Structure formats: structure tokens, C-alpha cells
Structure 1
Amino acid sequence: MSWLDRVRNGIPFLPKRQTAENLWHKCKRCGTMVFVKEWEENYSVCPRCNFHDRIGPTTRFEQLFDAAQYELLPAPEVREDPLRFRDTKRYTDRLKAARAANGERDALVNARGKLDGQKVVIGVQDFGFMGGSMGIAVGAAFVAGVRAAIADQAPYILFTAAGGARMQEGILSLMQMPRTTVALAELREAGLPYIVVLTDPTTGGVTASYAMLGDVQIAEPGALIGFAGQRVIEQTIREKLPEGFQRAEYLLEHGMIDMVVWRGDLKEKLALLVAYLSPEDRKAA
């Protein structure tokens, strides 16, 4: 070992050196550099422009459940790659890559726990898993979440984030639209509330089905919500659409959703809605 290696290895702080990548977070909207710790303490929201960054199921559950304590519901077993789909890659390879990157079986994860002392089941769609796309596994997870809520006599709260139906499953992905709608009929027959929180982005077949069927529709600030893209709509109707017409604030102004809530206030707002909507004899003891 040379004298330079001995000196370098003897400096205690070098292996623990922090870099710009783990100290700072750059806002995707305004470009502001924010300390990661400050950004995380602000619920992954830019303190300058209020841009709500996308977060996954684990972070969402920790922010909402009391003392960050919850029980994950097992992902339903479904047939994978029923069409044996292949584009530039095999569909099975894309699934393996998404699972390795996210650590989840598919794009919708459910958990049960308590929200301000009240029993709830919460589902979170992860845009990081193949764009949160809706396929057979997402439909099965949605049904499982609804039935877990019925078994617990608790509300079902869903956070949506999706680019639409999963093209690799063709018509089978579109069949999840009526399937989830029927599951919601079971939830309503049981007299339990269904609350939807629309996050960025919620589009396509998800918007055309369970994302817009909540008893209460909430959205995070600035969330993109729509069916088709703005350019596609403009080319179809041959008219220029107003700026931001698919953003949460525009939808609130035009009566499509009930409220836009900053992420830091979501837990308090959801707890209030659960207390108000849940029948007295079914609230947590």
C-alpha cells in the first residue's frame, strides 16, 4: 500500500462523505434547490412553489396512519402476461424490472390501520410502477381493498396516480373498469364511504372509472386529471383549450371535484371526512 493510500484511508470522514445527491433536492417545477431533510419534512412539497412531488405507497402510509403503524394487505395472485405481449421487451421482463425497482408486486398497494384513531383501509397507486397503469393485478388489488374495508366495516380511501390502462394486457385491462365499479357497488351496499384523493397524474381509463366515483373527490394541488391529453382533445374538437384546464384547481372551479388539499393537511381532512361519513356504530372502538 502506497503512502497516499495510507493517508487517504486514514481520513475518517471520506467514506461517510455526503454529496449533492443526498443533501439537496431540486424542484422539478421551479428548479429551487432545497435541503432533502427540509423537503421531506414538508411532505415532499417544494416550500417555494408548492409543487407536490410524486411519492410512493410507503411514504404515503407513513404520513397518514397513526404512528406510521399499518398492516399491508397481501397482493392478490393473478395470471401474468395473459396475452404473451412483446414490444421492444417482453412484458414479463418489464414486470420484473418494475418489481426490482419498486419492491412491490404491482401498481396498487393496500394497507389497513388507524387514521386519527379510526379504522380505515387505504389504497395507493404508485406511478413509479409502470406509470401506475391499470391491469388485472390493479383491478384485483382494488377489489381486495374494497372487500377488506367491508370486512373491517371501515371506509376505503384510494390515492390514484396512473397513466391509464396497461396496454400490454389489451382488453383485459379495460375490463377492470366495470369490475372496479361493481366492487364499489358492494361497498355502498355495505353503507361504507369511498373517498378518492386524485394525485398527479390521474388519466385515462382510471379517470373514466373508479377515480371519479368517490363519495368525496379530493385532489392535491396542481394534479393533472383528465381522460385524453390536451393536444389530442384540441385536435379532435379543433378548438384551443384554456391553460391548465386539466389541473386540480380548474376542476374544482368547474365542479368536477370537491376540494383541493395541501398534502400536509390531508390527514386532518381525511380524518374529519371519515368521522362525518362513517355510521356511528361502525367507527373504531
Structure 2
Amino acid sequence: MLKGFFKKTKYVTTSLPAYEKPPTPNIPNGMWIKCNTCDQIVYKKDLEENKKVCPHCGHHFRMTARERIDLIIDENTFEEFNQDLSTLNPLNYPDYEAKILQQQEKAELKEAVITGTGKICGEETVIAVMDSHFLMGSMGSVVGEKITRAVEEATKRRLPIIIFSTSGGARMQEGIFSLMQMAKTSAAIAKHDDEGLLYISVLTDPTTGGVTASFAMLGDIILAEPGALIGFAGPRVIEQTIKQKLPEGFQKSEFLLEHGLIDEIIPRNHLKETLHKLLHLHKEVE
């Protein structure tokens, strides 16, 4: 009897349901954006409603030209001109035409600047807005021509002109033709100034190279957005050239304001109001 009590029983095999992984959340791509300044994750819709300014640290994300026009110009008052100017390949640079077509489809622009007339709180002005989403806003023949024509139109109509700059510099695929745009745009602005007319330059991130060395720094009033990179050559190139460590924040708009190279830094949510005041004051003086 005791022998049966200690007898080993057979194990019973049972089938358990296989372990199922929890379903992966179905989150569409592009709904969240990481801020490169504070590393916070921002809901894209909230960012757009906040004029593409990080709600956590105030970092100003880059805008397209059309987004900026919608932000600054009164609704239904913008009239674009010279929108059909096309880029050529004067140096027969390999694959340049294909790259331009690719950029036009990607950025939904003909070139890296939009020009036209519009009203800011009722004050009429000519405006040129560069777009870094098109070949990093590089200045080729068409960009220079459109900006020059915009300045000449402002002079002809005796209107102020506002230029929003953002650029990586001259467009290398066009060589000397690109560099000539520096002189051409500067000459048009000089004639505009001779007529006693107002030119407001607004520097956004980034404004570098030949654009900085020409029309971007020729404004009667030079404004900038917070934290914008502004300069001719990049910080790394300068350090390699002069063999010195650059100061903290060198080439940022705050550094330039402190050293007297720009007139004021204006946060994006105050920019339209500020431009309206400047246009109104200049109109009163005239």
C-alpha cells in the first residue's frame, strides 16, 4: 500500500495558447517632429498651429516660401509675378537639368524664390521670399533675376520692398553666372535707395554665402529670426582657415545683434506686426 503511495505519476501534457505579441500601434509617419534644439517630440499639427515654433524652447523651424507668405501677407492680397522664369544650364553642368526638375517636383516651386506684391495689415509692399527647400536656397541666375526684377518693380511703383533671405550661397552649377547676381541685385537696391524708398531685409536660418555678401546685408533695416545662422563661410571652414576656436554662438543672430550687424531679432509671432509698423512709419515720414 505504501509502495503505491510513492509511485511516480505520469506527467500530463497540456496545450497552451501561443504567446501573442501586442499589436504594434499604427501611427502614421510624419505626425511627430523632434526639435533639434531641446530634443522634445512635438506633434506636427501643434507645431504648424504655432507658426512652426517649438512650444518647449522657442526654436524656429524652417518654413517654405509659401508658408511664410501666408503668415505675413494679408489673405487674398498676394499677386505673384515672374513665376515662369526657367533655369538654364549655361555651363552644361552634368545632370543639372535633371536635378532642377527633381527639385521642382519635390519643393513644388519653379525656383528658390517667390516674388510678388501684397499687403501687410493694409500696407502695400513688394516681397521676395527665398526657400531653403529648393537646392538649399542657392542663388543662381533665375533667383538673382527675380529678386532684381522685384526691386525694380518696387522702385517703379514707389513701394517698399521686403526680402526674406535663406540660402546656402551661390549655386556652384552656374559658376560665374551665379556670382554675377551679387552685383546685379546690389545695383538694383542702390537705385531703389537713391529714390529714397525703403528696403527691409529679414534674415532667416540659414543665410550664408553670396546672399549674405550682397542684398541680404544691404537693408535700410535688417531684422532676423531667433537662432538663425548668418554668415559668409560656415564656422567649420573659418576655424580651419584661421586655426582658431570661434566664440560660442558665433554667426547666430543673437551674436550679430550684440555686435551691431543687425538691427533687431523678431520672433515669428511678432514679425507681421513689426513689419506693418515699419511700413506705416516710413509712409508717414514720406
How many angstroms apart in 2 are the aligned matches of 1:273 and 1:152?
A: 18
2:121 is equivalent to residue 116 of structure 1: yes
How many angstroms apart in 1 are the aligned matches of 2:121 and 2:271?
A: 12
2:57 is equivalent to residue 57 of structure 1: no
1:239 Cα shift?
1.6
Q: Aligned runs of 1:232-243 on 2, under 5 Å?
A: 232-243=237-248
* Matching residue of 1:95: 100
* Matching residue of 1:36: 44
- Per the normalisation by structure 1, the TM-score is 0.87
Q: Deviations over 1:71-118 (max 9, x none)?
A: 1112363560010002xxx10011000101112111111121110110
1:149 Cα shift?
1.5
* Matching residue of 2:211: 206
Counterpart of 2:144 (choices 139, 144, 169) is: 139
How many angstroms apart in 2 are the aligned matches of 1:62 and 1:134?
A: 23
* Matching residue of 1:229: 234
How many angstroms apart in 1 are the aligned matches of 2:153 and 2:84?
A: 12
* Matching residue of 2:82: 74
Contact 1:78–1:136 (CA<8 Å) still a contact in 2? no
Q: Deviations over 1:131-166 (max 9, x none)?
A: 100110011010111122123321110110000000
How many angstroms apart in 1 are the aligned matches of 2:40 and 2:28?
A: 14
Q: Aligned runs of 1:245-256 on 2, under 5 Å?
A: 245-256=250-261
Spell out structure 1 runs of 4+ moving beyond 4 A. none
Moved more, 231-240 or 68-77: 68-77
- Amino acid in structure 2 at the alignment position of 1:57: A
Q: Deviations over 1:31-56 (max 9, x none)?
A: 22222222112110101111111111
Q: Which structure 1 residue ranges, 5 or more long, are not aligned?
A: 1-16
* Matching residue of 1:148: 153
How many angstroms apart in 1 are the aligned matches of 2:87 and 2:58?
A: 41
How many angstroms apart in 2 are the aligned matches of 1:59 and 1:240?
A: 37
Cα 1:129–1:273 shift into 2, 3 Å: same
SS of 2:143 mapped into structure 1: helix
Contact 1:192–1:278 (CA<8 Å) still a contact in 2? no
Q: Which structure 2 residue ranges, 5 or more long, are not aligned?
A: 1-24
How many angstroms apart in 1 are the aligned matches of 2:88 and 2:128?
A: 21
How many angstroms apart in 1 are the aligned matches of 2:285 and 2:151?
A: 20
Cα 1:118–1:21 shift into 2, 3 Å: same
How many angstroms apart in 1 are the aligned matches of 2:144 and 2:283?
A: 25
SS of 1:170 mapped into structure 2: helix
1:67 Cα shift?
2.5
SS of 1:145 mapped into structure 2: helix
How many angstroms apart in 2 are the aligned matches of 1:213 and 1:101?
A: 31
- Amino acid in structure 2 at the alignment position of 1:135: G
How many angstroms apart in 2 are the aligned matches of 1:28 and 1:193?
A: 36
1:22 Cα shift?
4.8
* Matching residue of 1:13: none
2:197 is equivalent to residue 192 of structure 1: yes
How many angstroms apart in 2 are the aligned matches of 1:77 and 1:230?
A: 34
Q: How many residues get paired? A: 262
